[in-house]
Structure 1
Amino acid sequence: MIYGCMGLGGAWDDTPVAAADIDHAERAVHAAVEIGVTWFDHADIYTRGKAELVFGEVLRRDPGLRDRVKIQTKCGIRLGESGLQAYYDLSKAAILERVDASLARLGVERVEILLLHRPDPLLDPAEVAEAYGELRAAGKVGSLGVSNMSAAQMSLLQRHLDEPLVANQLEMSLHRRDWLEAGVLVNHPEGSGLSFPEGTIEYCRANDVRIQAWGSLAQGIYSGAPRSESDNAAYDLVNAMAADKGTTAEAIVLGWLMRHPARIEPVIGTANPDRIRACADAEAQAAAMTNVEWYALWTAARGRPVP
């Protein structure tokens, strides 16, 4: 499992970081470490840079922590600049600039992985490769990955890289199942309504690209958050299974993802230490989950039998 730091740092505005924000981040980070998490996921835009900033303060409070964790961050999205609410920028200059800014906020010399946050239609793969080569040579970045990219986009980028892409971060959960449904509804009328790019999961599996699932807890709809009536059947089954197995709804939901042979790595996005700890049993639940249980959860979530 990976801990996603998007919820750290306070509000998504220019409000300065307060001591309470650092304390909150410290509790969340330590809860994640407590359940065995070693990877921490960032992006330069999370709470407008404050997520990285408070994480850096947590590292300073606990000097030995950096040696026990691995950090990845993302770049490629610009917010509130040049008169636009948002736009993408994966130019060489932007990548170099944003990585340096992330390292400064984190207070580290290197991140283990840099992810390209969103596909930039103006991306020049050769320019990205140049930027990555300079960052790697300078010891600032270990490996390169992507986020929200298709197999075709990864393949194009990979042609210009000397090192393999190591990760792709995608929205995946029991609630957001396009990644799963698209591979099953081939040559089926229902498949026309799905947007997940064909072959992406298979590309990652064939090329040993780590699949990281953001939104893996489905915003808590199976563990107490408000939900629609259509989610009730899956909610009831998740919680019945959790009670029967003496575990938590979070562990069942994450275990369902981890049971998939693609070795999906859930990104835990909650900043609530109790909910983080509730995820501790996910790996064990994945190992114990039967095919029938897995299909029962999928069927309940989709609201109808598989074709």
Structure 2
Amino acid sequence: MHFDPTTLRRDDYGFFGPDSPSWKIWTAPTAVIGFQRAVVLEHFDPFLTAAVADSRGIYSDPRKRLDHTFSYFLIAAIADGRTAIQAAEHLMQIHAPMTGIEPISGNRYSANSPETQLWIHITGWHSVLKAYEVFGPGPLTPEEEARYWHECAIAAELQTCKPEDVPRSRAEVREYFARVRPRLCTSEKAEEGMHHLLWTSPRNGAGISYAIGSRLLSLASVATLPKWMRRLGRFDRWGIVDLAVKLPAKVLVWSFTRFNSFGLLFAAPFVAPMAGQILEEHLNAAPPTRPETVTPSEARALYGSRSGRALIAEPA
């Protein structure tokens, strides 16, 4: 994914706008904690695990692979409609050839399948909100939360998710997790992926700074995961560690927020350079040409390619 920071917000305010809870939560310091949480728990889905294991991207170049994924979520949340649509179509192109056989079930997987895309989307948006609630300012107001899940459903239009399957409230998110839980499992490949994401090795191009960053983040992200997941993934720890982590993490988040996230911008080149670039442009962006929001369908009609939807590869 190529990103030109001068184009983040040239046309409009994107899908949500400056007063939206999505802008507030996705640009908060806690978003990086929530992102690590999401990419770890995603591995409980065997079809996503198979796609990750076969592509090997998080192992051969973990910094670039995860930076690009985090950047996509940020673009969907805060960029203008043109940038978001073009990023989504590019992502579908990248995912289109990622198909194969999931070894546990023997069924075919596709990275662009609606079920896999919904799992990625919901775990991402839910995890970022969870980290915001645990380490950030705290829970949203009922009105903000209702709007957040409405915006989550709008962002899902950028992917291949079936609209009728997308949760639109916290209660529906809980129902979704309960519905998919019977198919969640662990495996040797799943544990390899989760442990690598929590405690990345400096080898394979990750570097010392990224490896240290993943371990520090894991102290906070693991604390937000339910015990059954931690035991299933074999990365559980004593509860006293969770208690010891929460206060320092909250202090760090407060300090980053107090100084307009400049602490995060300083650290970004060492951990997630593209995401840091996007955040910096967000903080310094001038008003767009049209200070209004658009819908994904409007943006797709204006800026999308006709072949974008054809890039969906359904499992055979």
Q: Which has a greater percent of helix?
A: 2
Higher strand share: 1
Whichever of the two has the greater Rg, that structure is: 1
Q: TM-score, normalised by structure 2?
A: 0.27
